[in-house]
Structure 1
Amino acid sequence: MDLRATIEGGALKTLLSLPATVQRALSGRPLVLDGQTLAPDLQLLLGMQKLARRGELGGASLEAGRAALSANAALAGGRQPIGAVRDLVVAGLPARHYLPHGAHAADQGTPLLLFFHGGGFLYGDLDSHDAPCRVLAEESGVPVLAVDYGVGPEAAFPAAFDDAEAALRWVRDHADELGVDPDRIGVGGDSAGGNIAAWTAIAAARDGIPLAFQLLVYPCTDIDRDTESLRLFGEGLYLTAESMDMFTATYLTTPEARADERVNLLDVALPPGLAPAYVVTAGFDPLRDEGEAYARHLVEAGAEVELRRFVDQIHGFLNIVGVGRSSRAAVLEIAGRLRELATARGGTRAADG
């Protein structure tokens, strides 16, 4: 990390560790939209990013956007403890296996979360989501296997989805080597990765492959979104309507791709046998409504679903585990729910908080 990043990271951590009342005084009038109040540490964070001209997900070029995501992830994620990490090759793809303290690669019968990172199908890699994967594994006790699927435009649609399905098959074929119980494998991801994880669960159910659970964190589920959350939160809250338009235009370059069921999950006739789902949304996220619509779609198809909206959070909060308090608290709650999902199936319910 260079000197500037070190200074910025120290300042960010200090300011976001201040009492909420001080943060509120620094950030100004509370941001209230749709009956929700943005967490004061996030309002301060967004204000600081705007001053540093780092306030949105996107960039003047693909390379600039990728670099900005990596830089923001490093600043917000910090260095999180984990029992062990090892690099693997999964179905020909780079992957990273996170083992919580007390777990070993040779353990037999452990659960596993197969994780796909977010980034609009264009950004992100193993490093951009290293911190949240560490926290999810360490705090849940569930090993996490993150797979670096091919992003566009270099790996054109539907390569990411093909990679994900191949990764799941590889994990099942190598369950003994990983020390994994093949009946306790789940899939998960955030944003675009949530879309990929949801599709992988659908494909698995169609093929009769049992999955134990799916963890979908603010998933994108409707490429032609026309939602109230997009209108309310599509500017100034990190993920913007403009950046989403760019992601779509760059990744889905033909009418056939835009119409494909893999990126239009609300229109998919869902199969029986879908894994129980924990769907997470953020109150100030333009993707909020489509994620919650997909949770309802799953319920209507007979799947077991728990919907949890973190009303004071923004898109990308999964990565904010090294600074501030509110996002880390949300991620710790998700990790606790992951622990429960990996050991038992729950009922259908919904919660906001």
Structure 2
Amino acid sequence: MADHSQFGSPTKEWLNHEAAYAPLPEPPIHTLPAQEIQKQVNGGREQASAEAMKAEGLAEKVQIKSIRIPARDGHDIPTRIYSPRGTTSSHTALPVYVFYHGGGFIYGTPDTEDATCSRIVAAMPIIVINVAYRHAPQNPYPAAHNDASDAFDWVMSNASSIGGDVDMVVVGGVSSGGNLAASVVLEKRGEEPRIRGLVLGIPYLVLNSGNFPADYHVSKDKASRIQCAKAPVLPMAVVDFFAKEFRGKSGVVVPDVGLASERDLAGFPSTAFLVAGNDPLRDDGFMFAEKMQRAGVPVKFHVFPGLPHAFRRFDDLKSSKRWDELTVESIQWTLSEQKPQVPPLDVKVEESTSMT
């Protein structure tokens, strides 16, 4: 049985952030329709991404191409391809990172991810594919998962035409995008060419919270969904809101990739995790990583103690820069040959400031 509650207490870094900028307001999930919240959040994220692109000079370092990938039902999936400037005439195929953004299956547009994807390309020679899958409430499950799978198939069939190396494909995602990335790998495992790596940032892997194994924790109060129920950024009320909207009016029970068996996880590619400590989804990452390791999968695991879900959106945090560095390091790690480690999980703790 597990106890990861020591990572839940806020750090001075986060408390200093709240002191400087004031605590985050309560999310309007009980006062506004989901589509209105979606519009507001997307607008804010698009603006923040555009400002980062300009402030960090990313447009001068990265070339961006917008395409549409056909889905199985005739929908065209908006997709963006990010590559280093000056590579159009190069004959060297680059690794490919297929990226699924976060946002609780509700938020996200192609524009919201420009800075996130461009930072990776600016830091290493790679092609990043940003898949703008469909979102709830307009398109509940399984639209997002189908789009994620169809877009991945397109990448594997067309990697060479965009300058990519089909034998060096890594899949990754943040939060809900982590669920999609893990689901794609679970679906495609055993296929050739094989997926080289998987990168999961603050992954949302158990969508039906009631299905989280009761015997995983040493006691109920140690569970991240209990300990961090009122955490900033993503309290459990918002997690439940995301799950409800994603199920849609049919109330269909969406699959929990985080509950895949060790047998199903055997043969997974090298997988890197970036997890936040004060996050209801913290234990999704821990449980999945531990299960993977027992299945013989090479695992690299980093935890940011005391920081909330999606803390990367706050540029004043030193840990946000470290997040960017670790994302690139994790992709590079999965691209190199790795060997499984003997349990228990080797947890690397990221601490830019001391715990309170």
Of 245, 248, 272, the match for 2:243 = 248
Q: Give me the whole-angstrom Cα distance separating, in 1, the residues matched to 2:282 and 2:136.
A: 24
Per the alignment, residue 194 of structure 1 pairs with 178
Matched ranges for 1:76-225 at <5 A: 78-79=52-53, 80=56, 81=58, 82-91=61-70, 92-101=76-85, 103-104=87-88, 107-225=91-209
Q: What secondary structure sits across from 1:151 in the alignment?
A: coil
State which drifts further: 203-212 or 143-152: 203-212
Amino acid at match of 1:100: P
Q: Give me the whole-angstrom Cα distance separating, in 1, the residues matched to 2:89 and 2:208.
A: 42
Per the alignment, residue 352 of structure 1 pairs with 349
Contact residue 266 and residue 292 of structure 2 kept, 8 A: no
Query: By how many angstroms is 1:122 displaced?
Result: 1.4
Is structure 2 residue 264 aligned with structure 1 residue 270? yes
Q: Give me the whole-angstrom Cα distance separating, in 2, the residues matched to 1:57 and 1:187.
A: 33
Q: What secondary structure sits across from 2:189 in the alignment?
A: helix
Per the alignment, residue 9 of structure 1 pairs with none
User: Cα gap change, 1:264/1:275 in structure 2, threshold over 3 Å: closer, same or farther?
Assistant: closer
Per the alignment, residue 319 of structure 2 pairs with 326
Aligned-residue Cα RMSD (Å) equals 2.8
Contact residue 95 and residue 125 of structure 2 kept, 8 A: no
Query: By how many angstroms is 1:346 displaced?
Result: 5.6
Amino acid at match of 2:67: L
Matched ranges for 1:246-325 at <5 A: 246-253=241-248, 257-258=252-253, 260-261=254-255, 263-268=256-261, 269-320=263-314, 322-325=315-318
Query: By how many angstroms is 1:137 displaced?
Result: 2.1
Contact residue 222 and residue 266 of structure 1 kept, 8 A: yes
User: Cα gap change, 1:202/1:208 in structure 2, threshold over 3 Å: closer, same or farther?
Assistant: farther
User: Cα gap change, 1:238/1:46 in structure 2, threshold over 3 Å: closer, same or farther?
Assistant: farther
Query: By how many angstroms is 1:157 displaced?
Result: 0.8
Q: Give me the whole-angstrom Cα distance separating, in 2, the residues matched to 1:156 and 1:103.
A: 38
User: Cα gap change, 1:140/1:38 in structure 2, threshold over 3 Å: closer, same or farther?
Assistant: farther
Is structure 2 residue 32 aligned with structure 1 residue 60? yes
Contact residue 116 and residue 147 of structure 1 kept, 8 A: yes
User: Cα gap change, 1:332/1:35 in structure 2, threshold over 3 Å: closer, same or farther?
Assistant: closer
Per the alignment, residue 234 of structure 1 pairs with 229
User: Cα gap change, 1:35/1:206 in structure 2, threshold over 3 Å: closer, same or farther?
Assistant: closer
1:142-189 per-position Cα deviation (integer Å, ceiling 9, x unaligned): 221101011112222111111111111101111121111111011110
Contact residue 284 and residue 312 of structure 1 kept, 8 A: yes
Contact residue 278 and residue 306 of structure 1 kept, 8 A: yes
Per the alignment, residue 20 of structure 1 pairs with none
Taking structure 1 as the reference length, the TM-score comes to 0.80
Q: Give me the whole-angstrom Cα distance separating, in 1, the residues matched to 2:162 and 2:43.
A: 32
Q: What secondary structure sits across from 1:331 in the alignment?
A: helix
Query: By how many angstroms is 1:116 displaced?
Result: 0.5
Contact residue 90 and residue 170 of structure 1 kept, 8 A: yes
Taking structure 2 as the reference length, the TM-score comes to 0.79
Amino acid at match of 1:306: K
Q: Give me the whole-angstrom Cα distance separating, in 2, the residues matched to 1:106 and 1:61.
A: 49
Q: Give me the whole-angstrom Cα distance separating, in 2, the residues matched to 1:327 and 1:55.
A: 23
Q: Give me the whole-angstrom Cα distance separating, in 2, the residues matched to 1:87 and 1:246.
A: 31
Q: Give me the whole-angstrom Cα distance separating, in 2, the residues matched to 1:158 and 1:72.
A: 26
Structure 2: gaps (5+ residues): 71-75, 213-221, 351-356
Q: Give me the whole-angstrom Cα distance separating, in 2, the residues matched to 1:69 and 1:301.
A: 39
Q: Give me the whole-angstrom Cα distance separating, in 2, the residues matched to 1:254 and 1:207.
A: 35
Matched ranges for 1:2-13 at <5 A: none
